[in-house]
Structure 1
Amino acid sequence: MAGKPKQGDYAPHFEAYIGLAAEGDLKGQLLQQERDTIEVFAKLSDEQGEFRYAADKWSLKEVLGHMTDTERVMTYRLLRIARGDTTPLPGFDENLFVANTDFGRRTITELLEEFRAVRAATLALLGGVTAEELERSGTVSGNRITAHALAYVAAGHALHHLNIVRDRYLPGLA
C-alpha cells in the first residue's frame, strides 16, 4: 500500500487519525497494534474493565468494544468503495453504538477475541485489494473519501484509543 493518503482524499475531521498512523507498512502497523492492544487489555481483570477515568467517560470494556465496532464500520466502508460502490454512505454515532450495547456483560477475553477477529478480517481485506481499488473514492457523511484513506483512518483510530487507554485509564488503575 502506498504512503499516507493526501489531503482531499478524506474529510478534515479524519486528519487526526490519519496523522497518527505512520508512513509505510500499514499492515505491519496493524499487526503491531493488535499485539499492543492485546498486551494492554489482557492484563486487566473483568472488574478493571469497568474502570472509567471520569464519570462521563466510557469504561475500558466500552473503549475496546468501540475500537472493534469502529474498525468494522471503517472497513465496511472501505470494502464498498474499493468494490466500486458509489452509493453515499451515512455516518454513525459511536455514542449510540456504545449506549445500545452492554459491553460490561462480556469478559475482557471475549472482547479481545472479537477485536482479534475483526483485525484479522481487516488484514485479509487489505491483503486482497489492489492499488487501483484503494484509490477509488466514495462519499461518507457527505464527504469524499478513498478506500486508501479509510484504511489509515482505521489504523489511526485504534491507535488514538490505545493512547488514551495508556495515558488516562491505566494510571488510574495503578
Structure 2
Amino acid sequence: MLQRPEQNEYDPYFSTYIDVVPDGDILPFLQQQWKQVNFLFGKLSEEQGEQSYAPGKWKMKEVLGHISDSERVMSYWMLSVARGDTMKLPGYDQDIFVNNGSFDECTLAELLADLQAVRQATFSLLTTIAEPAWLRVGNVVNKVVTARSLLYIIAGHTEHHLKVAGLKDGIRTSHNG
C-alpha cells in the first residue's frame, strides 16, 4: 500500500495538490476518482462542454483535455524518477498545451475515452515500479520530488481541477466565453 509522501519528499509548491488527496491507499482513490470524473463530465451536454466554467477561463472540454495532458506529463516524470533518471526534468506550459490541444474538435465522450486510456496507462506503469523505487528522488522543474509524491500530485491535480471547474461540489454555473 502506497502511503502519503512525507513533506521532505516534495517542494512546498506541490502541497496544493498533495494536501487534497485523502489519507489511505491511493490506488482505490485513483480508481474511484476516474469513476467520478467520468460521471461528472459525462453528464455534461456537448453545449456545456463548449462553455467555460467562469468568464475568461477554460472551456469544460479544455479542462478535461488539460487533466489528460497533465497526467501524461506527470506520469513521465514519475517514470523517470522511479527508474533513477537524475536529469533535470522540464515543466510544460499548460496554456500552450490547451491552446494547441484542439479539444473543441473532440466530443466529451472522446475526451473521456482519452483520459481513461491515460489513467489506464498510469495504472499499468504503477505495476512496474518496485517498492524501493517509490522513494527515489528526482528533479522536476527545479524542484526535488520522489516518485511517490508524483503519484499524489497526479491525483491532487485532478481533484484541483474538478473543484476549480465547479464539478467537485456539484455546483456549476455555465458561462460563455
Q: TM-score range by the shorter chain?
A: over 0.9
Aligned position for 1:40: 40
Aligned position for 1:80: 80
Aligned position for 1:172: 173
Deviations 1:132-163 (A, max 9, x none): 11110110111111000000000011111112
Q: Is the 8 A contact 2:2 2:26 kept in 1?
A: no
Q: Is the 8 A contact 2:4 2:152 kept in 1?
A: yes
Q: Is the 8 A contact 1:4 1:152 kept in 2?
A: yes
Q: Does 1:145 align with 2:145?
A: yes
Task: State, as a whole percentage, how many aligned pairs show the same letter.
Answer: 43
**1:2 CA displacement:** 3.2
State the aligned residue count: 173
Letter in 1 for 2:147: A
**Equivalent residue runs for 1:46-125 within 5 Å:** 46-125=46-125
Say which is worse superposed, 45-54 or 66-75, in terms of deviation: 45-54
Aligned position for 1:6: 6
**1:62 CA displacement:** 0.2
Provide the alpha-carbon RMSD of the alignment: 1.5
Aligned position for 2:15: 15
**1:121 CA displacement:** 0.8
| More helix per residue | 1
Q: Structure 1 residues 60 and 170, CA, compared in 2 at 3 Å: closer, same or farther?
A: farther
TM-score after normalising by structure 2 = 0.92
Q: Is the 8 A contact 2:67 2:158 kept in 1?
A: yes
Letter in 2 for 1:131: E
Q: Is the 8 A contact 1:60 1:169 kept in 2?
A: no
**Equivalent residue runs for 1:153-164 within 5 Å:** 153-164=153-164
TM-score after normalising by structure 1 = 0.94
**1:90 CA displacement:** 0.8
CA distance in structure 2 between the partners assigned to 1:79 and 1:146 by the alignment: 11
